[in-house]
Amino acid sequence: MQPDWDYVKKTTLWHYDELIKKLNIVMDYPVIWQAYNHNMAFAVVFGRRLFPDKNIEAGEYPAQILDTIAHLESAGISDWGNLLSKVTTRDDCLAFITENNFMFEEFIDVLNYLLRWAFPFQTASRELLDHENQQEMSGYEVLKQHKLMNSFDILEQGRTMKGRRALAERTGLPPDFVTSLAHRADIARLPYVRRKTLLPVCGAGYDTLARIAAADLTKMESDMDTYFRLKHGKSWENYRAVIVLKLVVACAQALPVIMED
């Protein structure tokens, strides 16, 4: 059977080679990679944690993904790094799925799941900041000077108190700002959470991943309503459809802990 390489672009929005490069980015950050390079047994557990309300036994997403991950384990794959090392090119991918009797589309769906859900998204440093806040945008200029260009750079170096102190001393940025930025970089690991979700959630008082994970949804919605009324003169109801707090909290509870106090 001839593989449909167009399916890769349609599903992931990237051509195969570009997709693999994107998946490999996190490997350049040892602390973050260690937290996400799951073995296949834990990868299944993690997938269930990300979707606690889904009836996976009845076939709801990500049921097929988890079945394919189990197939990967039976094919001798030890962890995600091991898998990615075997499917670097199109030819490698085709050889692997042929040898191990994978359906092409189901295998690509797993790579898409890694990109969208199981691996963290690398966010540009600018997208962690309030663009209307002159102090924060001045801080961005300093971040550029020190090549702190994305959330992974900031989190890898600022996950510990010692690291944050070192960043503040090296950059001259206020320690409170560095700490806030490191927590935003941590929160940005949440699937599909970008600046338009990140800033309101932080502004409502949920400015660490731990606080999001511990949130009471009813109170969180009330706090979000207060934030939006004060900041934008609109109620939470205007944003409820685009900021799905239940999913945000569930994913925060599932993600591996990287930040230290």
Do 17 and 89 touch, CB atoms closer than 8 A? yes
Query: Which of these, 67, 63, 61, 71, lies nearest to 97 by C-alpha position?
Result: 71
From CA 90, how far away is CA 113, in angstroms rounded?
18
129 SS3 class = coil
Query: Which of these, 59, 30, 56, 29, lies nearest to 44 by C-alpha position?
Result: 56
Compute the average pLDDT of residues 10-35: 98
| CA dist 160 → 163, 179, 242, 253 (Å) | 5, 9, 32, 20
Whether residue 27 has pLDDT greater than 80: yes
How would residue 2 be classed by pLDDT, with cut points 50, 70 and 90?
A: confident
Give the DSSP letter of residue 116: I
pLDDT at 150: 98
Partner residues linked to 150 by β-bridges: 124
Is 196 buried (19+), middle (13-18) or exposed (0-12) by CB count in 10 A? exposed
Query: Which of these, 183, 227, 219, 221, lies nearest to 203 by C-alpha position?
Result: 227
pLDDT at 261: 78
pTM value is 0.95
Token code pair at residue 219: 């109170």
Do 182 and 159 touch, CB atoms closer than 8 A? yes
Terminal C-alpha separation, the chain: 53
DSSP 87-118: -SSHHHHHHHHHHTT--HHHHHHHHHHIIIII
Do 52 and 247 touch, CB atoms closer than 8 A? no
How would residue 13 be classed by pLDDT, with cut points 50, 70 and 90?
A: very high
Compute the average pLDDT of residues 117-134: 97
How would residue 109 be classed by pLDDT, with cut points 50, 70 and 90?
A: very high
Domain positions in the chain are 5-118, 125-254
Predicted confidence (pLDDT) per residue in 184-228, tens digit: 999 999 999 999 999 999 999 999 999 999 999 999 999 999 999
From CA 201, how far away is CA 224, in angstroms rounded?
7
From CA 162, how far away is CA 124, in angstroms rounded?
23
Compute the average pLDDT of residues 128-135: 96
From CA 40, how far away is CA 45, in angstroms rounded?
9
189 SS3 class = coil
Whether residue 1 has pLDDT greater than 70: no
pLDDT at 191: 97
Mean pLDDT across the chain? 97
